[in-house]
């Protein structure tokens, strides 16, 4: 396909993806989500902490030759981080090397605040995307500063797109974040505190079957299924978590 949306639709079914990741398309709605954020050809797009690279697999081929994708991954020079912060980027590097026709243009920056706290040049990025990271930043007491860094690195008029497991309104985020959930008003407060303007929300990643209240938090649900076989059918029937999808903009 020639339009960005068509390239995303093609990428999400691509041969470079595992069956497991392809099967999650139904919960993660990459075409609609990225369209809602307003991704366009020619943009410099930064994905924060891609983890296993689910969204990177979609973004990289869609942006290739049509803009620039930058991934901000954990800084290997920072000692004492959780093991996955070293192993996942190594795995990703191998994946990139094996699939140059997909990933050869992806740039990497290292970001492990507070030690390694810069995402690069001020006003250098058109769009910052963060998928299901904010609860971790709340737990680490870093959410305010990280959102400020997003605002710094965004160009005037640039967009911050946030997808995050959604807690009930009126809940204390310091409590719910331990279960992986953050309320919309807290995410909005982090962004507006950083000088970004809330523009619009979408229910494309909503799941009304998710009660937000499970024995092992959000990780009880797929894809983690932390309880193993216990009540597995029940959690598969619920599906992946209820998620907010929010768009913020840096004033011109």
One digit per residue, the tens of pLDDT, for the chain of length 252 reads: 579 999 999 999 999 999 999 999 999 999 999 999 999 999 999 999 999 999 999 999 999 999 999 999 999 999 999 999 999 999 999 999 999 999 999 999 999 999 999 999 999 999 999 999 999 999 999 999 999 999 999 999 999 999 999 999 999 999 999 999 999 999 999 999 999 999 999 999 999 999 999 999 999 999 999 999 999 999 999 999 999 999 999 999
Q: Which letter does DSSP use for residue 112 in this model?
A: B
Q: Whole-prediction pTM value?
A: 0.96
Q: Which residues contact 121 (CB under 8 A, 6 or more apart)?
A: 153
- The CA-based angle 231-243-113, given to 5 degrees, is 105
Q: Which candidate, 118, 191, 111, places its Cα nearest to that of 159?
A: 191
Cβ distance 143 to 189 under 8 Å? no
Q: What is residue 90's three-state secondary structure?
A: helix
């Amino acid at each position: 396909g020639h339009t960005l949306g068509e390239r995303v639709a093609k990428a999400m079914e691509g041969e470079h993806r595992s069956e497991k990741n392809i099967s999650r398309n139904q919960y993660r709605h990459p075409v609609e989500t990225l369209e809602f954020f307003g991704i366009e050809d020619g943009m410099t797009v930064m994905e924060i902490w891609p983890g296993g690279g689910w969204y990177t697999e979609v973004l990289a081929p869609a942006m290739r030759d049509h803009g620039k994708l930058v991934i901000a991954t954990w800084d290997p020079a920072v000692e004492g981080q959780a093991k996955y912060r070293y192993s996942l980027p190594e795995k990703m590097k191998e994946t990139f090397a094996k699939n140059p026709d997909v990933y050869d243009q992806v740039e990497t920056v290292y970001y492990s605040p507070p030690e390694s706290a810069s995402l690069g040049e001020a006003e250098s990025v058109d769009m910052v995307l963060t998928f299901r990271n904010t609860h971790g930043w709340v737990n680490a007491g870093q959410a305010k500063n990280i959102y400020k860094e997003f605002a710094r690195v965004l160009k005037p008029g640039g967009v911050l797109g946030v997808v995050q497991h959604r807690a009930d309104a009126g809940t204390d985020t310091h409590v719910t974040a331990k279960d992986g959930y953050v309320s919309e008003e807290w995410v909005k407060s982090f962004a507006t505190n950083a000088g970004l303007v809330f523009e619009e929300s979408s229910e494309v990643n909503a799941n009304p079957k998710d009660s937000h209240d499970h024995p092992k938090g959000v990780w009880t649900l797929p894809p983690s299924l932390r309880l193993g076989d216990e009540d597995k059918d029940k959690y598969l029937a619920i599906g992946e978590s209820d998620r907010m999808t929010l768009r913020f903009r840096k004033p011109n």
